[in-house]
Amino acid sequence: MEENNFHLTLYFLGEVDQEEIPAIQQLLQATTREVPPFTVEFDTLGTFPPRGVPRVVWIGLKESTPLQELYRSLLGRLKILGYKEEKKPFFPHVTLGRVRSPRNTGHLVKLLKTVRGSIPAEEVREIFLMESTLTPKGPIYEVVSRFSLKKSSG
């Protein structure tokens, strides 16, 4: 697992025309101006799909009102650009990595159920517009733009 590839997806845009990027950047800027930095706490480990051969390993996040508000605000603005709400409810999680081979996945699933511990909470201070390219060796993520959350006035 490549630590640089750990990420939380607020909304997967899919294929985006280059002409749409400035409008997406504007709505991300408007969204982040409203939301102050906040802390997220980590919860349980799991895989996608939840049954059968795992393809993705993730760690869930505990309920976070600020994260939900950030998501709802972003989604509201994306709808204006024609993006639709995903059919599945928003499930905040950090993707830790992809499973490359089905060999020994039973062992992986058992191991994930036994892992416990205290992972420190993490402060969210910015969000990124990312480009991802899937390759046979795994995904390549590239930062298109970064947006700082609202600075406190104190």
Identify the CA nearest to 124 among candidates 41, 25, 12, 51: 41
pLDDT value, residue 153: 64
Q: What is the pLDDT at residue 154?
A: 56
The C-alpha atoms of residue 73 and residue 143 are separated, in whole angstroms, by 21
pLDDT at 112: 80
At CA 71, angle to CA 69 and CA 140, rounded to 5?
145
In contact, 97 and 2? CB cutoff 8 Å: yes
**pTM for this entry:** 0.87
pLDDT at 75: 96
Q: What is the pLDDT of residues 54-106, one digit of tens each?
A: 999 999 999 999 999 999 999 999 999 999 998 889 999 999 888 888 888 88
Active site residues: 7, 93
Q: How far apart are CA 66 and CA 36, in angstroms?
A: 8
DSSP 119: P
Dump pLDDT digits (tens) for 28-64: 999 999 999 999 999 988 899 988 889 999 999 999 9
Mean pLDDT along residues 126-133: 95
Nearest to 133 by CA among 124, 125, 142: 142
Residue 70's SS3 state is helix
Q: How far apart are CA 149 and CA 16, in angstroms?
A: 24
What Cα–Cα distance (Å) separates residue 37 from each residue in 14, 16, 148?
27, 28, 8
Domains and CATH numbers, the chain: 3-148 (3.90.1140.10)
Q: What is the pLDDT of residue 142?
A: 94
Q: What pLDDT, on the 0 to 100 scale, is given for residue 137?
A: 81
